[in-house]
Every structure is written in C-alpha cells, then in structure tokens.
C-alpha cells in the first residue's frame, strides 16, 4: 500500500494530488480523492482498499483517510453504535466515528498500526496523527509561498511535488555520523520535511501548525514499576497477554518472520498453539520466512532449524540466504526505498524476507515480526550495563552485593560486548574518533551538539529506547519495507496491554543473573527449544556486515574515492580513505558501523540530491576496434604536421597469471583480421608506418607488480611523507601511503627523503617536478587506486613495469611473427606508455627516435582504462596526400 497523501491551502495546482499519490510500484489502483475546503486528501492502495480508506461523516463535517489497520475494531464499533453512530464501513469508518465522538482523545481508544489525516470542514484544518508507537510513517512539509502544507506517508512524493526545495538537513546528518542516532524527533534528513510524532496530532491550518500529544502511553510507561514480587503469577499473566497480542494480529493470510532469537521463536510457538487450539481437527501449516547467513558471525541456522523441528509437520519453512554480491546489487534500490540513511544494514534482512514472501505463490498479507521485544524486555547488550549501574546505585551493602552477584553472572555477556574494545587496545589499534573524519567547517558548525543516553536506570532507559533511542528507527524501516512490497508487518511485542504490563514489572523480571528478557524466557519454558530459550549470544536480525564489507571493500573504496564524495562538505575524504584502509588492515579501531554510515550517507546523497544522467541507465554499447572512445578522436595532428590515427583496442581484464605476449597478440590479430570490413577510410589510413602502444598498467599487473592496497604493509615514513604530497583529482601519484610505501621500497628511504627535500626547495624557487628528477627510476609511474579504473585497478597500487624496454622488444618480435605479411615491413615497434588525462610518460620502447615523438602521439590520451577497457592502441602515421 502506498498510503495517504494530501495538501492544504495549495489551491493553484490541480495536478498536485496526482503527484503526491504516485506510487513506486504498478499494482496500486487509482487514488481515492476527496476535495474538501482548501484541502485535498487521497488514499492509494492495491485493489479496492483505497476507497474504503477514505470516508466522510454523515454530517459532512469530518473527512478521514486511514493508512493501516485496527485490531479488534469490532469491539469499538459496538461501543460507538450504542452511542448512536451508524458504522457500515471498515476500519476507517470506526476511526472516523471515534474521532467524531471524542475528538483527538478518541484516537487513544484505537488499538492498531495506523496513520491518519482528518479534515474539519468547520475550521478548514487538517489533523495528522500516528498510533502510539509510530508503526506507520507520516511526513509533512510547509509550502511557504502558498501558505499551505503537504503531507504523505512517504517522503519522495513531497520531494517530487514541485513545491518543495530539497536540501539535506545538516544537523541531522551530523548527529547521525557522530552519535549514530536518527528518528528520535520530528526532524528528518531532509531540511523542511518533518515527521508526525508517535501518539501525536499535528493540526495544520493556514496560519500555523500545532502539535499535541494525545496518547497516554508514555506517561504510563514512565510510571514507577509496582513493587509486587516476581513469580509464577507474573509469568502466567505475561504468557496470556502475549497470546492475546498474537491472536489480535492473525487475521488474514499471516506468515511469521523467523530468526534464531527468542522473540521470533515465541511468536511462532504462540501461532502454532493458537492454530491447534482453534481447529484441533485441522492440519494448519504455519508459513515461516528466515534470512540466514551460514558460516558467518551472523549464522543462526542451528537455532532456526531447532524451532522448525519443534513445530514438526505444522510448518512450511522458507529460507533466503543473501550473499555479499546480492547485497551489492540491491544496495542502491535498498537506499532509495529507505528514503533516509540507516544506522546499520540490519534492515536488509527484513527487506529480503518481504521481497521473497511477496513474490511467493499465494503470498501472505501480513508478516508477524519480533520488533519491539528488545526495547521493551531489555534485550540489548547495553541494558546489562545500565542494570548493573542501577544496582550499584541502589545503595547500601545489599545493593553492592546484588551488583557483584549480577556482574559475576553477566561476565560472558559483557565480554562479548567489550571484547573487541579490549582486543583493539591489546593489539595497539589506533582510535579514530568519527569527528576526525568530518569536514572541518561542518564539524565546527555543530561542535555544541550532544546526545545523552540514560545510563543509571534500566526503566528510564527502556522508555527512552521505545520513544526515541531505538524503536522509532526500526519501525521506520519496517514500514518502508512492508509498504514497498505490499505487505503488512504486525508486531505482537508492541501490543499496548502487553507493553503496559511489562513496564510495570521490576527490573529483576527483565534482567536477572545475566539473563535478559527473563519473563519471556520463563513464559516460554517447554514451548520453544531450550537451545533458543537459554541462548545468551544474541545476534538478532542483522547481516554479517563486517564480513560483507571486507568482501566488498573494492566497491566501497570506489565510493569513497569518488569525486562526489570528495566534494561533500560533510567528510574529509583523505581521512576517510586512510581510516577505511586502516580498517581493512586492522590497524585502527573504527568499526563496520562507521564504514556503513559514511557509505550510506554518500549513496543517499547521490540518490536524492545529485543529478542523474538518463543515458547512464542505458546499456553500454561496446565499441569496435575501429572507433574512438567516447569524447575522444581517432586522428591527431602533430606539431610537425604529421597526422596519426590511434585505434584503441578493447580487451578483457589482465591478471597476474596471464601471459602478456600471448594474450596481447590475440587482440592485435583481431584488429588486422577485421580491417578489410572496416571501410575505405580505414584502409587508406593504415598504409603508413605503424606502432603498438601498451599501457604500463597491464604490463605491471602481469609482472606481479600490482598490489591490493590491503596487502601493502605501510610504514610510518610512508604515512608521514604522503601527507605532504597533493593528491591529484584522479587520485594519481604518491599522495597515498600505499603508493609512497611502494616508492620507498623501490628507491630506498634515503633517496626518497633526499628527493623530498629537493622537491620542497624546488617549490620555493618555482621549479616543479624536481622530486621525480632527483628520486630517479620510474617512480613517476607508480599509480594509486583510481576511481575511473575498473576492478582491480581501482583498489590497487602499482609499480612501474620492470625492464620496459625489454618488454617492448619482446612484444615487437612476437608481433612481427604474427601480423599479416603486408604490415610487417611497416611496423615500427612497441611503446610502453604511462598515459592518463593529466599527462603521459614513455617508460620503454624499441621504436626508433626520441621518447618525445611517441609522447606527442598521445597528447590527448586516446586510451580508456575505466569501463572502456581499452589499455592498448595501434597507431598509424597517415601517409601524406
């Protein structure tokens, strides 16, 4: 379902509601639209649901559009009927009657997952609202020039409305990068677009917008827990409430999202018990969907298998096993769908579950999910630390004794959380504060920003996690995923009766003797496998993010090396590259979360703010050997008046194990074999003397002189010296510690230091390039990873080729033996060329004459070593006419 949308006070744009209601999938029907006063409201959904989601009261005063669903709406319908309301429609009609009867406070009587908009004809105002937890999203933006408002279930319609100037929200970006926080308030990542708060109404009129909290949930959660003892009665009451919560959410074709954690296992167990209790004679089969990552740190196969085995023949288990390649292919679609950056890749697991479930035969209408169990039952690692602090501060010898006992029982849990930090210290890994990776001016603007988390009270910490710190972000991505794939996500652990009960319990009912979620574990005894119930190594719905990033390091490095990333005010590209390189090699303490935030931010900026070339989405046409590369030319007139024609040859990638001569000769033979069909112009141009030019890169690669950056052991001198070398726009040269390390190994540290000193003096007197003159050898030919190159060149550093003159001579001898006889006498020799769009350098040749002659033939560099894959050329001197 696309959801709801509308506008208020923008009366001069008749096509606006169509743009706001546009869906990102084809299955949605035309929107149901109501034009009332100066407002237009719309609902869009698959099938005929849109018409049922938009209703007007009998009096005509209120028009309501609902996105979502109510649980046990019939109970409220019956109460409203006794009060005189004639309700003939579905959930939207019940919500409208409740609003008409009790106003905004009537929303507190709605149990469900919803967002809605109500227009009041008497005041010509629109009231927007979301359920107490905020499971459905709703966004709003002001239209200053029209004095109006736009609202929508997703952000993209507002961006594409034509009435909003899209700009990033720099403050939100800063807090995301530095504090790993988002969705904790009304601000989004888009400047001028805000979200309606959970359990809140936002009333829009021509004059102003007023926010009002109608839900009593937060006040109820913040109330101090009751001092009654924990025991069998509490466990039984919890089990009863969880069962009721699951029952409320099982209408329609429902499947279960099954991970290896106790939350998901408990839901699957309750679904099974309900099916057996309601229809004991039938053989109801529960559908489960699991994302699994075998043989990784996120491997939950064993636990999922145990749950499925316990359900026996009453379950049909579906499994999805994404790979790093799958993630790479999905990455941009995933970023586009989420609309705002995320704190981790965990949402991708749900993305894959929902995509596969929606595409299955007889797909479910809803998925039951365990979201909310960690935030309400104390399931995260930091909750143990907060609980220990609370015990320590409880005072007296008794409090100290409890804290000591709890600490002793929690050591394994705490070790898993703190172990990586200790390992970093032992191994001497350098700490890299995230703020040091940011652009200096950007960081200075927000230096006063801070983010505090509750550390001394478990109860207050859980309240904060539910209303701001954790749950809102998880609900946002759950809603985005479900909406996109046309499913509903239902969350039993966010049942209000259940949550109220849990927050009234003492801390020991949640965390006790090192066990989290105590009451849930006790309630599930005998109902879920012991391997799951007694599990302490929490993984959760997450990907093997660090392992994947290591596999995708070349792709990620390419993003960080991109020109767009370099130009962002938010990051210091050089610092990020150095930090990422250090992470790959294990020399610093940044983590995959930091890598992800930098990557996610850049991909998000590219998607929503950078201009897109439509031609870039078209399949690339592979050029023939007789055509120039894009934006290049075949012919070049030299200063002497001689015209040379350069034919760039497209090749496959070269690898270390390739035979340079054998592979290269194949491309030369292909060229001459196709010349007769290439046309009269080419026949006339290929009668003079000719030469073969080959890029030094592929020579170096086949000689084993190209190295992945993570395999280069960089010393301190290289790190220091590289800071004083300016990186060119293309990333070429010694401005990287990797290329500087290669230079030191090739020429020796004393000579590099000598050349560096000379280069510094040369700059003072206005003489450039003195460093390379003094250092000697082919140090100038050392290349670093470059964005424009194809893999693996984009993540490799390369020395110049060894003995390039000898390489040229051997290639020429082989060419003379293999080319057609008509071209043997006119062949002038081979040139090993280091060429790019900045300059060119002849490294070796067996062709006659000075190097400058052949450098001039490449004055505009006709080669293309990026996606063109043309690292060699056949060059003819055209005969005079």
Rounded to whole angstroms, the Cα distance separating 519 from 234 reads: 8
pLDDT of residue 730: 47
Rounded to whole angstroms, the Cα distance separating 539 from 550 reads: 19
Q: What mean pLDDT do residues 627-634 have?
A: 91
Q: Is the pLDDT reported for residue 866 higher than 70?
A: no
Sheet holding 39-44, edge to edge: 32-36, 39-44, 3-8, 148-152, 139-143, 193-195
Phi-psi domain of 731 (left: phi exceeds 0; alpha: psi -120 through 50; beta: other)? left
pLDDT of residue 25: 55
Q: What mean pLDDT do residues 163-176 have?
A: 96
3-state SS class at 66 = strand
Sign of torsion, CA 734 737 742 745?
Answer: positive
Strand partners, 320: 291
pLDDT of residue 422: 46
More confident residue, 405 or 318: 318
Q: Is the pLDDT reported for residue 719 higher than 50?
A: yes
Q: Which of 26-30, 212-216, 685-689, 779-783 has the lowest mean pLDDT?
A: 26-30
Per-residue pLDDT reduced to its tens digit, 337-376: 999 999 999 999 999 999 999 999 999 999 999 999 999 9
Rounded to whole angstroms, the Cα distance separating 829 from 411 reads: 72
Rounded to whole angstroms, the Cα distance separating 787 from 770 reads: 27
For the chain, percent of residues with pLDDT exceeding 70: 91
Q: What are phi and psi of 170, to 5 degrees?
A: -65, -35
Q: What are phi and psi of 479, to 5 degrees?
A: -65, -40
∠537-406-392 over CA atoms, to 5°? 125
pLDDT of residue 224: 82
pLDDT of residue 581: 82
Strand partners, 571: 438
Q: What mean pLDDT do residues 448-475 have?
A: 94
Closest CA to 239 of 605, 498, 599, 578: 498
pLDDT of residue 643: 94
CATH number for domain 230-381+451-533, candidates 3.40.1410.10, 3.40.50.620, 3.40.50.720, 3.60.20.10: 3.40.50.620
Residue with tokens 């050029």: 623
Using CA atoms, how far residue 43 sits from 39, 65, 91, 406, in Å, is 14, 6, 14, 52
- Could you tell me if 509 and 501 are in contact, meaning their C-beta atoms sit under 8 angstroms apart? no
- The residues of the chain that CATH labels 3.30.1330.100 are 635-703+803-877
Q: Is the pLDDT reported for residue 133 higher than 90?
A: yes
Joined tokens for residue 784 = 């670093």
pLDDT of residue 587: 81
Rounded to whole angstroms, the Cα distance separating 92 from 73 reads: 10
Q: Which of 314-323, 555-564, 593-602 has the lowest mean pLDDT?
A: 555-564
Sign of torsion, CA 605 608 609 615?
Answer: positive
Joined tokens for residue 270 = 């309750």
- The residues of the chain that CATH labels 3.40.50.620 are 230-381+451-533
Q: Is the pLDDT reported for residue 129 higher than 90?
A: yes
- DSSP for 838-862, please give it: S-EEEEEE-SSS-HHHHHHTTTT--
| Continuous H helices in 279-380 | 301-311, 324-338, 347-358, 373-377
Residue 145's CB: how many other CB atoms inside 10 A?
8
- Could you tell me if 577 and 566 are in contact, meaning their C-beta atoms sit under 8 angstroms apart? no
Highest mean pLDDT among 79-83, 238-242, 452-456: 238-242
More confident residue, 715 or 806: 806
Closest CA to 292 of 300, 303, 283: 300
Q: What mean pLDDT do residues 207-222 have?
A: 91
Q: What mean pLDDT do residues 169-193 have?
A: 96
Rounded to whole angstroms, the Cα distance separating 200 from 215 reads: 7
pLDDT of residue 420: 55
Average pLDDT, the chain: 89
Q: Is the pLDDT reported for residue 293 higher than 80?
A: yes
Q: What mean pLDDT do residues 224-234 have?
A: 86
Rounded to whole angstroms, the Cα distance separating 136 from 151 reads: 14
Joined tokens for residue 100 = 């008409």
Closest CA to 146 of 170, 129, 163: 163
pLDDT band at 655 (very low <50, low <70, confident <90, very high): confident
pLDDT band at 414 (very low <50, low <70, confident <90, very high): low
Q: What mean pLDDT do residues 511-533 have?
A: 95
pLDDT of residue 729: 45
Residue 534's CB: how many other CB atoms inside 10 A?
12
CATH number for domain 3-215, candidates 3.30.930.10, 3.30.565.10, 3.30.750.24, 3.60.20.10: 3.60.20.10
Strand partners, 287: 316
Q: How far, rounded to the nearest angstrom, does the alpha carbon of residue 638 sit from its chain's CA centroid? A: 50
> Helices 592-608 and 553-560 meet at what angle, rounded to 10?
60
Joined tokens for residue 106 = 């009537």
Residue 22's CB: how many other CB atoms inside 10 A?
16
For the chain, percent of residues with pLDDT exceeding 90: 65
Rounded to whole angstroms, the Cα distance separating 857 from 869 reads: 20
CATH number for domain 635-703+803-877, candidates 3.30.70.260, 3.10.420.10, 3.30.1330.100, 1.20.1440.60: 3.30.1330.100
pLDDT of residue 772: 77
pLDDT band at 756 (very low <50, low <70, confident <90, very high): confident
∠858-859-861 over CA atoms, to 5°? 55
Rounded to whole angstroms, the Cα distance separating 837 from 786 reads: 12
Q: What is the torsion angle, in degrees rounded to the nearest 10, for the CA atoms of residue 855, residue 856, residue 861 and residue 863?
A: -60
- The residues of the chain that CATH labels 3.60.20.10 are 3-215
pLDDT of residue 429: 60
Joined tokens for residue 565 = 């990333």
pLDDT of residue 613: 60
Q: What mean pLDDT do residues 319-325 have?
A: 92
């Amino acid at each position: 379902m696309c959801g709801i949308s509308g506008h208020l006070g923008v009366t001069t744009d008749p096509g606006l509601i169509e743009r706001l209601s546009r869906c990102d999938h084809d299955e949605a029907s035309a929107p149901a639209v109501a034009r009332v006063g100066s407002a237009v409201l719309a609902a869009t959904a698959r099938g005929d649901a849109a018409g049922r989601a938009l209703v007007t009261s009998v009096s005509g005063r209120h028009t309501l559009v609902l996105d979502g669903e109510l649980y046990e709406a019939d109970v409220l319908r019956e109460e409203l009927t006794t009060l005189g309301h004639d309700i003939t429609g579905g959930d939207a009609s019940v919500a409208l009657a409740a609003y008409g009867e009790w106003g905004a406070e009537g929303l507190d009587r709605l149990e469900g997952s919803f967002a809605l908009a109500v227009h009041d004809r008497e005041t010509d105002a629109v009231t927007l609202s979301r359920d107490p937890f905020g499971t459905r999203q709703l966004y709003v933006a002001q239209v200053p020039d029209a004095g109006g408002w736009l609202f929508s279930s997703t952000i993209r319609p507002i961006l594409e409305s034509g009435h909003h100037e899209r700009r990033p929200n720099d403050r939100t970006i800063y807090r995301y990068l530095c504090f790993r926080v988002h969705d904790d308030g009304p601000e989004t990542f888009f400047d001028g677009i805000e979200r309606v708060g959970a359990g809140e109404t936002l009333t829009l009129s021509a004059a102003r917008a007023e926010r009002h909290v109608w839900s009593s949930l937060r006040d109820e959660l913040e109330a101090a827990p009751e001092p009654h003892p924990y025991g069998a009665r509490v466990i039984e009451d919890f089990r009863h409430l969880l069962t009721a919560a699951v029952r409320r959410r099982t209408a329609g074709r429902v499947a279960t999202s099954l991970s290896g954690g106790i939350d998901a296992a408990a839901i699957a167990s309750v679904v099974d018990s309900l099916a057996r209790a309601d229809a004991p004679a039938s053989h109801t089969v529960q559908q489960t969907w699991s994302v699994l990552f075998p043989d990784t740190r996120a491997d939950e196969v064993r636990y999922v298998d145990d749950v499925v085995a316990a359900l026996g023949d009453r379950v049909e288990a579906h499994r999805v096993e994404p790979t790093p390649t799958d993630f790479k292919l999905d990455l941009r679609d995933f970023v586009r769908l989420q609309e705002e950056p995320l704190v981790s890749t965990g949402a991708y697991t749900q993305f894959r579950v929902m995509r596969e479930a929606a595409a299955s035969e007889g797909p479910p209408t809803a998925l039951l999910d365990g979201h909310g169990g960690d935030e309400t039952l104390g399931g995260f690692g930091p909750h143990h630390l907060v609980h220990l602090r609370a015990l320590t501060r409880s005072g007296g010898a008794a409090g100290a004794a409890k804290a000591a006992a709890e600490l002793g029982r929690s050591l394994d849990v705490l070790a898993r959380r703190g172990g990586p930090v200790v390992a970093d210290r032992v191994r001497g890994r350098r700490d890299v504060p995230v703020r040091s990776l940011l652009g200096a001016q950007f960081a200075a603007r927000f230096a006063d920003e801070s983010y505090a988390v509750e550390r001394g009270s478990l109860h207050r910490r859980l309240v904060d996690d539910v209303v701001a710190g954790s749950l809102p972000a998880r609900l946002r991505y759950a809603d985005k995923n479900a909406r996109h794939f046309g499913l509903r996500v239902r969350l039993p652990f966010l049942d209000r009766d259940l949550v109220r009960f849990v927050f009234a319990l003492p801390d020991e009912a949640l965390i006790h003797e090192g066990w989290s979620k105590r009451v849930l574990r006790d309630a599930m005894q005998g109902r879920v496998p012991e391997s799951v119930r007694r599990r302490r190594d929490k993984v959760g719905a997450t990907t093997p993010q660090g392992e994947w990033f290591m596999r995708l390091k070349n792709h990620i490095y390419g993003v960080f090396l991109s020109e767009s990333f370099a130009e962002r005010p938010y990051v210091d590209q050089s610092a990020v590259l150095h930090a990422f390189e250090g992470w790959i090699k294990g020399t610093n303490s940044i983590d995959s979360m930091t890598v992800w935030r930098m990557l996610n931010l850049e991909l998000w900026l590219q998607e929503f703010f950078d201009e897109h070339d439509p031609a870039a989405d078209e399949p690339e046409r592979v050029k023939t050997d007789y055509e120039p590369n894009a934006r290049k030319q075949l012919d070049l007139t030299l200063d002497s008046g001689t015209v040379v024609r350069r034919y760039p040859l497209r090749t496959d990638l070269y690898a270390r194990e390739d035979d340079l001569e054998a592979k290269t000769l194949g491309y030369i033979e292909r060229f001459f074999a196709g010349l007769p069909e290439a046309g009269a112009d080419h026949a006339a141009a290929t009668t003079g003397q000719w030469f073969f030019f080959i890029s030094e890169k592929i020579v170096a690669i086949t000689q084993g002189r190209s190295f992945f950056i993570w395999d280069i052991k960089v010393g301190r001198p290289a790190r220091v010296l590289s800071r004083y070398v300016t990186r060119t726009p293309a990333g070429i040269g010694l401005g990287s510690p990797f290329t500087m390390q290669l230079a030191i190994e090739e020429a020796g540290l004393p000579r590099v230091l000598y050349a560096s000193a000379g280069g510094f003096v040369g700059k003072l007197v206005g003489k450039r390039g003195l460093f390379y003159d003094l250092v000697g050898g082919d140090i100038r030919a050392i290349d670093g990873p470059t964005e424009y190159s194809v893999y693996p060149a984009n993540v490799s550093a390369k020395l110049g080729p060894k003995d390039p003159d000898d390489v040229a001579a051997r290639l020429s001898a082989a060419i003379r033996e293999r080319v057609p006889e008509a071209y043997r006498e006119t062949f002038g020799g081979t040139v090993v060329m280091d060429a790019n769009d900045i300059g060119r350098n002849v490294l070796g040749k067996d062709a006659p004459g000075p190097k400058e002659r052949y450098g001039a033939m490449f004055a505009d560099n006709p080669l293309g070593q990026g996606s063109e894959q043309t690292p060699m050329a056949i060059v003819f001197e055209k005969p005079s006419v």
